Amino acid sequence: MAASNGAGVVVVFDFDKTIIDCDSDNWVVDALGATQRFDELLLHLPWNSAIDAMMGELHSQGKSTEEIAGSMRTAPLSPHVVAAIETAHALGCELRILSDANAFFIDAVLAHHGLAGYFTEVSTNPAHVDAAGRLRISPYHDFHHGSSHGCTLATCPPNMCKGKVMEEILQELSKEAGKTRRRVVYLGDGRGDYCPTLKLVERDYMMPRKGYPVWDLIVADRHAVRADVRGWADAEDLETVLLDIIHECAAASKMEEDGGHQVVVPAECRSLPLASAPELAMPVLPKAIQAPN
């Protein structure tokens, strides 16, 4: 298909357990032998604060930021996810990341796999290396000084409401010149991915990872989600489902351009099952260990 066929689509990826097949915080902590200490910190600190404190302790033990970045470079990233990113970009889609991980971990992975240039924006918890060489991780929404993001949804952690960020993305897209707003496809797995899911409308798509927390939340109240829901189980599934959606969006855009007249739907779209309540009521797979990302 021509490169312009995905020009009407913005694909927004979660990072942990979506682009990489693990939780980045846990991956680094486990790789550097600090699992038990991190678990202790989580007993009395919010997740985002605990990972910042953990980085401070690793620094005091002589662990360098290069060692931390090196551990992230070994995080599992499937060739199918790489292919999905490259193909979606080649088809003309705009790609973004919306993640409760942090900029340092995400940058390390994207740079290592040559993917940084594919994404126009990465919305995540800020990170920087201070003068002493210690990695600092900050909250996306500052909650340390009595303020908060204001979201009352229990699934949003105090440091980041992805729903607020999604609202900003949708407002930005609605201001673009053109008859209709570009379609958004959102991929995620965790509890924090539920709030942005609720911001999407009928012309958008949600791709929840089957058997993970956001899937369970969508199944529990299917009518709360207005977007077209298309589940995926693994990286190969992610690639197939995402590219099917992009081709489907291209066909829908062509129909809009033609004034709503029927157009020939590409063969790869005809056999696509519509996401429906029965599909989402399928037996839920065993849950993975839950992390807020």
Is residue 68 assigned to a domain? no
Confidence grade of residue 160 (pLDDT, cut at 50, 70, 90): very high
Is residue 286 assigned to a domain? no
Beta strands in 59-116 (DSSP E): 94-102
Which CATH number covers residue 154?
3.40.50.1000
From the number of C-beta atoms within 10 Å of its C-beta (0-12, 13-18, 19+), residue 217 rates as buried
3-state secondary structure of 63: coil
Structural domain of 232: 3-22+76-124+145-280
**155 CB-side CA count, 13 A:** 20
Percent of the chain exceeding pLDDT 70 equals 84
Q: Is 16 annotated as a binding residue?
A: yes
Active site residues: 14, 16
Is residue 50 assigned to a domain? no
Is residue 38 assigned to a domain? no
Percent of the chain exceeding pLDDT 90 equals 75
Is residue 245 assigned to a domain? yes
pLDDT at 3: 52
Q: Compute CA distances 71 → 28, 79, 109, whole Å.
A: 6, 19, 10
Q: Is 237 annotated as a binding residue?
A: no
What is d(CA 287, CA 19) in angstroms, rounded to the nearest whole number?
18
Q: Which amino acid is present at 122?
A: V
Is residue 291 assigned to a domain? no
Based on the structure, what is the number of domains in the chain?
Answer: 1
Is residue 53 assigned to a domain? no
B/e letters for 112-136, b = 16+ CB within 10 Å, e = fewer, are bbebeebbeebbbbebeeeeeebbb
pLDDT at 90: 97
Q: Is 25 annotated as a binding residue?
A: yes
Is residue 216 assigned to a domain? yes
